[in-house]
Amino acid sequence: MGNTHQVVLKNREYLSFDVGEDEAIIDAVEAKGHLLPIGCRYGGCITCAAKLLEGKVRQPNGTALNKRQSSAGYILLCVARPKTDCVLEVGVESHDKLYVNPFSVSGGYVPPLKGNKK
């Protein structure tokens, strides 16, 4: 194994893990007995998305994250490998900018349905 880096889960009471540069972050978390949401394990879904607050990771292109999500700082724990020490927010509470709220443009207003009147 190459160098290791400390990965801190900010919204999990600052749990920290030493993660090898060639190791997926989720593997190190699970090896210590902690569970986080996980789906496909190859970057094809966004179940394990986390927000990278500090640090740098190596993540392959062609993952399920689009450019907007990547630009907002999201990574996929199943394929991301640390290049430096990192601080992350994990779990669904970190997904504030992962999905577009369809009601945000309308300010939450949903027009009434118009039915057939007899």
Give the tokens for residue 53: 């607050």
Please tell me whether the overall predicted TM-score, pTM, comes out greater than 0.85 for this model.
no
Answer for the pair 57, 81: CB distance below 8 angstroms, yes or no. Answer: yes
Answer for the pair 33, 71: CB distance below 8 angstroms, yes or no. Answer: no
**4 or 93: whose pLDDT is higher?**
4
Q: Where are the beta strands (DSSP E) in 30-108?
A: 49-54, 57-58, 74-76, 81-82, 86-89
The domain limits of the chain are 4-94
Percentage of residues in the chain with pLDDT exceeding 70?
83
Domain boundaries 4-94, CATH class: alpha beta
If residue 26 lies in a helix (H) or strand (E), which one and from where to where? Answer: helix 25-31
Q: How confident is the model at residue 35 (pLDDT cuts 50, 70, 90)?
A: very high
- Residues in Cβ contact with 40 at an 8 Å cutoff, skipping those fewer than 6 apart: 47, 78
| pLDDT of residue 116 exceeding 70 | no
Q: What is the C-alpha separation between 102 and 67, in angstroms, rounded? A: 19
